Structure 1
Amino acid sequence: MKLKIIFFFCITFVFLSCNQEPKKTEKTKLVVGIVVDQMRYDYLTRFQDRYGENGFKRLLKNGFSLENAHYNYIPTYTAVGHSAIYTGTTPSEHGIIGNNWYDKFLKKSIYCVDDSEYTTVGNKSDEGKKSPKRLFTTTITDQLHLAQNMNGKTIGIAIKDRSSVLPAGHTANAAYWYSAGNFNNWITSSYYMEELPQWVTDFNNNNKADQYINAGWETLHDIDTYTKSRVDDNVFEGKFRGEQSPVFPKNLKELRIKNGNFSIIKTVPAGNTLTTDFAKAAIIGENLGKSDFTDFLAVSYSSTDYVGHKYGPASIEIEDTYLRLDKDLENFFNFLDQQVGNGNYTVFLTADHAAVHVPAYLQSLKIPAHYFSTKNFRNFLLGITKKYYKSSELIENVSNYQIFLNKEKIEALNLNLNDVAQKLADEVVHFDGIYKAVTARTMQTTHFSSGILNSLQNGYNQKLSGDVLMIPYPASLIRGRTGTSHGSGYSYDTHVPILFYGNGIKKGTSTKRYNITDIAPTIANLLSIEAPNSTNGIVIDEVLKK
């Protein structure tokens, strides 16, 4: 009898368990996408013991970290990176092939978000003539609006216009960026609105930038404790105009006179603090995270890029910038807890690209590194076309390691376009600095499944890209011998952090290889909405609770 009773209760328990609805996670009220411009993955590990507990470490300890995440295309530039993060695809599909590029239809170089159809809202400059029209695909921010029948709010914020406009997408309620020089205010485009909201006007009137600039830039801690970086005064770092050497402290109040007045805040950590302040004002001013719908705030920290370009990854300046950014993030996360509620928001943090160590510094350590001369290369190309085709008019433009051919001239000379392109590809690899070269026809007819040529192919857009595409040696830059840059498909440019935190996110880490294009479909899955319309990334199942 006892066995029958036990059996009955067991069957009943199993039956009830199988028929119980799974516990649903409350939907997130606010998604915050954070992009740190030019952040190498190793900034997480190199400075980890100096970070506080509630900035980067809060995401690392209580969120999910992808330790082997990369960009899977060339070129790794700001506009391209922000587009890839939010569209879940590469330049081959989304159409943003650079910050600037040569338009072979207009026969001129263009800027990624320029749009003369719109005007500046916020001041009398031309800096607001922008829109996302050159972005061919939808973004995760667009898809969230579509899924909610255009309810909920989407706002983009960054010092750089492209870093605000492209993530916010085509349907954004607003995208704001900082107009520096003598203007000193946050502006937008008539693409979004006809006048600034009162909260933006109020923020501009507070003039926090003056306060931050006049405070100067000293190291957060005793400068002798910055042992993970090079000595303060060295030949590998750039200087502000009027500065004798690139050392601390930096008297920004005096330096601003010769460095574009308010523009100087872009190139110091205070630019990130100003961005944080504005993001907080946006959340309050727009009541983000307070409605029945999910809102999306896309924030990009641009000053890290300006500092990196001037000083390089091994500088005290970059270390101090990240220690200060860590405090900005702590401030921001604590604010989100109070304003939106811990557990009501989801954050992802990543970078639009990383950066190479200063090549001159690498050379001083006997590590192979190079500086590429565009002038010498143009002369080299001219020699090729004169030698084989008796013409100096076959090349229309050379930019972003691409050659655009003059198709009209080639046709007039009864030459075959593909033959000319292949001859150039064969010859340019003899130039000191070019490591690989392929034609557009090769990109269209050959599939590269891995390696750097696969990255080149992912960045090739048949409609927009050039006729010959080239790859320089590793650790090559086109610039002076101080500071650094980016743009390649090598790991120093592609390896970036991807951190998820908050509502719907597990705790953990993964060493699996993931691509930057996996962020958008993962967020789409979290929100139970359709992914952007050209997404080719995958959903990262291991980060999601559901």
Structure 2
Amino acid sequence: MRLTAPLLAATMMAGLSACAATPEPVASAPASDIEVPEGSPKLLVVISVDQLSSQLMTEYLPRMSGGLKRVATMGTTFVNGYQAQSATETCPGHSTILTGSFPARSGIVANDWYDFSTGGDYEVYCSEDVARRGEWGDRDVISPEHLLVPTLGTYLKRVDPRSRNIAIAGKDRSAVMLGGHDADQRWWLSEDGWSTDLDAPAPDVVTSATLTLRGMIEQGSAGLEVPEYCASKPDVVLEGRGPIGDDTLGWAPGDRMDFMMSPAQDGAVLALGAALIDDMELGRDDTPDVVSLGLAATDYIGHKYGPQSGEMCLQMFALDRNLDGFFKLLDQRGLDYAVVLTADHGGQPIPERLALQGIEAERVDGTINRRARAKVTEVLDLPENWVAGGYPGDIYINPEIEASRRGDAIARLAAAYREDRQVGAVFTRDEIMAQPIPTGNPTDWTLLQRVRATYHPARSGDLYVVATEYLTPIPNPVGTYIATHGSPYEYDRRVPIIFYRPGTSAFLRQDPARTVDILPTVAAHLGLSLGDAELDGVCLDGVHGVRCAD
């Protein structure tokens, strides 16, 4: 029986309002009775769990018994996977997963960068079409315009245009970077329900899913029952915010933002993914199809409560259940499918929790950028718009400033930042570009090499400033944003990379892998030639018994 989108959404999210006790630890996920099919899979499901660090997964996996447990213990799992570049944010992280390219090649250097040639508003959003600003009023016109390289969907269509490329996510930038330039369907959650940048009419299942989604938000939810393991997480009290650790992830009727910070958001993405697989009959002919799913609830919850909170504990078990329901639906359809599961970045624990572990950590002094710039402005008498961007990350000097003063400004600004104790490193454009894009084991890379993997000369800054380790670049922990990511350190770079196909042998691999290695590895599984594409990733030998070509 084919489930309609409303029924599917209701089915997949039914258990989210009343969480039972934490599942008892199990040795492995339930064994699949599906025999290993010969040849390449007909449906590839790529799942990115926003802010799922390897540390998070390994903490909770022994207590799980659902979908995340299944793929991690019955697939080939690289626990030392890496978003190897310094830019560990949503947009650059997602851009590496299906392109085989670091931001240095793809051009997606951050969620936002600066371009003084755009006019009065210099800031550029990674998934907007700058040339079409104003068409949607104050909203960006969402587009893959800035992605300079193909994704897997494009490579598939070059071989056979009948291959379908579907991307669904909680965030527009996730859907754009996974689907790339040749998406047949692309949907993300917005204030209006499901939105797209494509001109084709919405399928009926999407329209129905939007109505179901609006109804769920309007109805509200009391949240989840807190199991003992989650309740044991120590609460912390933040000044101006109150206790962190006692929220049950429900939402008041009509509160869309709190809905987005709940496991139900992931359920909505998975539900629409399953509905479109049915409606479009994906994976049912001789041409392989790809469905990319960007699950964003972990990131929203991580920002609001921190990755070591009781709220994140609730989310991890809910994610395991959500994925379990989704994979069981695929099993019931008898589909020949494979799964890649990874993350766009990890996340840094808040200083208040690190202190409980004896780790010295602090929040940023919010005056760093102002103080550093003032030292230069006063000396060189520069105009108001002489600099854009800021610590940590890219800093841009207005190219209209004459060369002599511009060079002096860059040198003085670099020196001003280096004097600050919360700055870990400062690199100039020349220092960065003198380095080749790094290769090999990402655990051995220097900070400069990690920055080089991010740096694109047409979009990156004149300076790149790195914060010290364990420094949270949020000065005041108030509102819904107390924790973050984006650094070049292990807690933000290290993510799981999992390849799963029902019936294949399980391998836990300790050797490092990089998210840019996913595309060439998947291409080998699909028997897909990537032509003469220049990639940063390499095929990971031995995944599901597939040997990479020399």
Normalised TM-score (structure 2): 0.84
Query: 1:229 offset after TM fit, Å?
Result: 2.4
What's 2:330 paired with? Answer: 336
Q: How does 1:59-458 map to 2 (within 5 A)?
A: 59-107=71-119, 108-115=122-129, 129-148=141-160, 150-180=161-191, 183=192, 185-189=193-197, 192-207=198-213, 210=216, 214-219=220-225, 221-222=226-227, 224-226=228-230, 229-231=233-235, 234-236=236-238, 247-249=246-248, 252-253=251-252, 256=254, 261-341=255-335, 344-363=336-355, 365-387=357-379, 389-391=380-382, 395-399=386-390, 401-411=393-403, 414-415=404-405, 417-447=406-436, 450-458=445-453
- Give the residue type in structure 1 aligned to 2:378: K
CA distance in structure 2 between the partners assigned to 1:502 and 1:280 by the alignment: 17
Query: 1:227 offset after TM fit, Å?
Result: 5.7
Q: Which runs of no fewer than 5 residues in structure 2 stay unpaired? A: 1-35, 439-444
- Give the residue type in structure 2 aligned to 1:102: Y
- CA 500–410 in structure 1, closer or farther in 2 if over 3 Å, else same: same
What's 2:26 paired with? Answer: none
CA distance in structure 2 between the partners assigned to 1:451 and 1:103 by the alignment: 28
Query: 1:370 offset after TM fit, Å?
Result: 2.7
Deviations 1:309-361 (CA, angstroms, capped at 9, x unpaired): 000111110011010010000001111111243xx111000000000110233
CA contact (8 A) 1:80 1:98 kept: yes
CA distance in structure 2 between the partners assigned to 1:24 and 1:218 by the alignment: 39
CA contact (8 A) 2:233 2:245 kept: no
Query: 1:427 offset after TM fit, Å?
Result: 3.1
The answer to whether residue 63 in structure 2 is matched with residue 50 in structure 1 is yes
- CA 322–167 in structure 1, closer or farther in 2 if over 3 Å, else same: same
CA distance in structure 2 between the partners assigned to 1:194 and 1:441 by the alignment: 45
The answer to whether residue 46 in structure 2 is matched with residue 33 in structure 1 is yes
- Give the residue type in structure 2 aligned to 1:276: L
CA distance in structure 2 between the partners assigned to 1:197 and 1:119 by the alignment: 27
What's 1:539 paired with? Answer: 539
CA distance in structure 1 between the partners assigned to 2:239 and 2:172 by the alignment: 26
Query: 1:48 offset after TM fit, Å?
Result: 1.9
- Give the residue type in structure 2 aligned to 1:290: R
Q: 1:216 is paired with a residue of what secondary structure?
A: coil
CA distance in structure 1 between the partners assigned to 2:295 and 2:137 by the alignment: 23
Deviations 1:480-515 (CA, angstroms, capped at 9, x unpaired): 236310001100000101111016964212111111
Query: 1:247 offset after TM fit, Å?
Result: 2.5
CA contact (8 A) 1:272 1:303 kept: yes
Specify the structure having the higher radius of gyration (Cα): 1
Q: How does 1:462-481 map to 2 (within 5 A)?
A: 462-479=457-474, 480-481=476-477
CA distance in structure 2 between the partners assigned to 1:390 and 1:120 by the alignment: 35
CA distance in structure 2 between the partners assigned to 1:372 and 1:144 by the alignment: 45
Query: 1:45 offset after TM fit, Å?
Result: 1.8
What's 1:520 paired with? Answer: 519
- Give the residue type in structure 2 aligned to 1:186: W
Q: 2:109 is paired with a residue of what secondary structure?
A: coil
CA distance in structure 2 between the partners assigned to 1:326 and 1:292 by the alignment: 31
CA contact (8 A) 2:169 2:296 kept: yes
CA contact (8 A) 1:209 1:265 kept: no
- CA 120–24 in structure 1, closer or farther in 2 if over 3 Å, else same: farther
CA distance in structure 2 between the partners assigned to 1:120 and 1:285 by the alignment: 34
CA distance in structure 2 between the partners assigned to 1:393 and 1:120 by the alignment: 26
- CA 237–39 in structure 1, closer or farther in 2 if over 3 Å, else same: farther
- CA 534–118 in structure 1, closer or farther in 2 if over 3 Å, else same: farther
RMSD across aligned C-alpha pairs, in angstroms? 2.8
CA distance in structure 2 between the partners assigned to 1:524 and 1:142 by the alignment: 12
Q: 2:46 is paired with a residue of what secondary structure?
A: strand
CA distance in structure 2 between the partners assigned to 1:367 and 1:536 by the alignment: 35
CA contact (8 A) 1:289 1:340 kept: no
Query: 1:85 offset after TM fit, Å?
Result: 0.8
Moved more, 134-143 or 532-541: 532-541
Query: 1:407 offset after TM fit, Å?
Result: 2.6
What's 1:489 paired with? Answer: 488
Deviations 1:166-220 (CA, angstroms, capped at 9, x unpaired): 101101101101122xx3x21212xx2232112211222334652696232123x
- CA 207–513 in structure 1, closer or farther in 2 if over 3 Å, else same: closer
Q: 2:512 is paired with a residue of what secondary structure?
A: strand
- Give the residue type in structure 2 aligned to 1:140: L
- CA 229–238 in structure 1, closer or farther in 2 if over 3 Å, else same: farther
CA distance in structure 2 between the partners assigned to 1:512 and 1:395 by the alignment: 46
CA distance in structure 1 between the partners assigned to 2:42 and 2:138 by the alignment: 35
CA contact (8 A) 1:382 1:392 kept: no
CA distance in structure 2 between the partners assigned to 1:213 and 1:40 by the alignment: 32
Query: 1:264 offset after TM fit, Å?
Result: 2.2
Query: 1:378 offset after TM fit, Å?
Result: 1.8
CA contact (8 A) 1:69 1:513 kept: yes
Query: 1:394 offset after TM fit, Å?
Result: 7.7
- Give the residue type in structure 2 aligned to 1:440: R
Count of paired positions: 497
CA contact (8 A) 2:245 2:310 kept: no
- Give the residue type in structure 1 aligned to 2:507: G
Q: 1:404 is paired with a residue of what secondary structure?
A: strand
What's 1:12 paired with? Answer: none
Q: 2:162 is paired with a residue of what secondary structure?
A: coil
Q: 1:226 is paired with a residue of what secondary structure?
A: helix
CA distance in structure 1 between the partners assigned to 2:435 and 2:498 by the alignment: 35
- CA 125–332 in structure 1, closer or farther in 2 if over 3 Å, else same: farther
What's 1:6 paired with? Answer: none
Q: Which runs of no fewer than 5 residues in structure 1 stay unpaired? A: 1-22
